[in-house]
């Protein structure tokens, strides 16, 4: 089966549309590692699309924040303000959908989806030192995660732990075969708010039969998203950071 793997969409409709245009015809099912909502200006458009199109999805911390099921004291002021704004905008059916999203890990075919780490959906796996502690808790040898907004991930291969870094800025895609003797923690990157210094929307394509991953980047009109963020009265920094990819 061929999957389009998404994470951290963050109510960014322009980025989502660019990803869907770029990947059209290359997958059978769409899965998501969480954070449909928060930060961005189009929560209803993104969640309407998610309800109709996602085969499997786990919740992210911002989905909980925007669903009103999280104590927002844990959020920084910008994230808190965006969550409160999002909650005020959501249609009843989309609010209910966010509330109903499951916590990971969620098994799909021969892999699983998590938002942060297998033990804690809010934990950031930012380095190979973070990741090496969690490999023992993975129930499948391929796991997709999000939360850090950094495309790449970690591998356990031949008794060693390795970091899978992001591609170069001049590349649009990078291919990787997932050795069945290893274990793989793969982050497709963030569709709607990349933070690895590359402002292009990030995603991955996974072919479970061939055990191949394609990491992909696609440019989108982040200036249009920034203008919507300003018009909505959301904090300016949320628009400005899209152009920087940080």
Q: Whole-number minimum distance, CB 38 to Zn ion, in Å? A: 7
Q: Whole-number minimum distance, CB 138 to Zn ion, in Å? A: 21
Nearer to Zn ion, 35 or 141 (CB): 35
199 sits near Zn ion (criterion: CB under 5 A): no
Residue with the CB atom nearest Zn ion in the bound state: 35
* Helix or strand (DSSP H, E) at 201: strand 201-207
Nearer to Zn ion, 22 or 35 (CB): 35
Helix ranges restricted to H, 101-235: 128-132, 222-231
| Total of residues contacting Zn ion (CB under 5 A) | 2
H helix count then E strand count, the chain = 8, 12
Peptide bond between residue 105 and the one before it cis (omega within 30 degrees of 0): yes
Q: Whole-number minimum distance, CB 112 to Zn ion, in Å? A: 18
In angstroms, the CA 200 to CA 198 distance is 6
Segment interacting with Zn ion, rule: CB under 5 A, options 1-9, 16-24, 137-145, 161-169: 1-9
8 sits near Zn ion (criterion: CB under 5 A): yes
Q: Whole-number minimum distance, CB 60 to Zn ion, in Å? A: 5
Segment interacting with Zn ion, rule: CB under 5 A, options 6-14, 130-138, 176-184, 211-219: 6-14
Q: Whole-number minimum distance, CB 62 to Zn ion, in Å? A: 6
Q: Whole-number minimum distance, CB 234 to Zn ion, in Å? A: 15
In angstroms, the CA 146 to CA 41 distance is 20
Nearer to Zn ion, 33 or 178 (CB): 33
Nearer to Zn ion, 116 or 118 (CB): 116
* Burial (0-12, 13-18, 19+ Cβ within 10 Å), 119: exposed
* Nearest in space to 246 (alpha carbons), one of 185, 197, 192, 183: 197
The 24-53 contact track toward Zn ion, x by CB under 5 A, reads -----------x------------------
Give the number of C-alpha atoms closer than 13 A to the C-alpha of residue 79, restricted to the C-beta side. 16
Give the DSSP letter string of 213-246: EEEEEE---HHHHHHHHHHTT--HHHHHHHHHT-
In angstroms, the CA 86 to CA 95 distance is 10
Nearer to Zn ion, 35 or 199 (CB): 35
Q: Whole-number minimum distance, CB 15 to Zn ion, in Å? A: 13
What residue ranges bind Zn ion (CB under 5 A)? 8, 35
């Amino acid at each position: 089966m061929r999957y389009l793997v998404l994470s951290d969409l963050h109510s960014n409709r322009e980025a989502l549309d660019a990803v869907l245009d770029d990947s059209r015809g290359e997958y059978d099912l769409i899965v998501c590692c969480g954070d449909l909502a928060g930060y961005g200006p189009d929560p209803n458009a993104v969640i309407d699309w998610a309800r109709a199109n996602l085969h499997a999805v786990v919740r992210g911390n911002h989905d909980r924040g925007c669903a009103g099921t999280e104590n927002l004291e844990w959020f920084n002021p910008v994230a808190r303000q965006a969550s409160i704004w999002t909650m005020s905008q959501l249609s009843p059916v989309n609010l209910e959908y966010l509330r109903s999203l499951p916590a990971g890990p969620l098994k799909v075919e021969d892999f699983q989806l998590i938002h942060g780490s297998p033990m804690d959906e809010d934990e950031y796996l930012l380095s190979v030192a973070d990741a090496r502690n969690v490999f023992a808790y993975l129930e499948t040898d391929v796991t997709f995660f999000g939360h850090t907004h950094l495309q790449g991930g970690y591998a356990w291969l031949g008794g060693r732990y390795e970091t899978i870094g992001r591609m170069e800025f001049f590349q649009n895609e990078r291919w990787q075969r997932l050795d069945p003797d290893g274990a793989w923690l793969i982050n497709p990157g963030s569709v709607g708010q990349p933070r690895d210094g590359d402002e292009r929307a990030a995603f991955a394509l996974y072919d479970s039969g061939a055990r191949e991953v394609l990491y992909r980047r696609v440019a989108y009109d982040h200036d249009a998203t920034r203008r919507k963020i300003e018009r909505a009265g959301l904090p300016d920094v949320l628009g400005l950071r899209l152009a920087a990819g940080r």
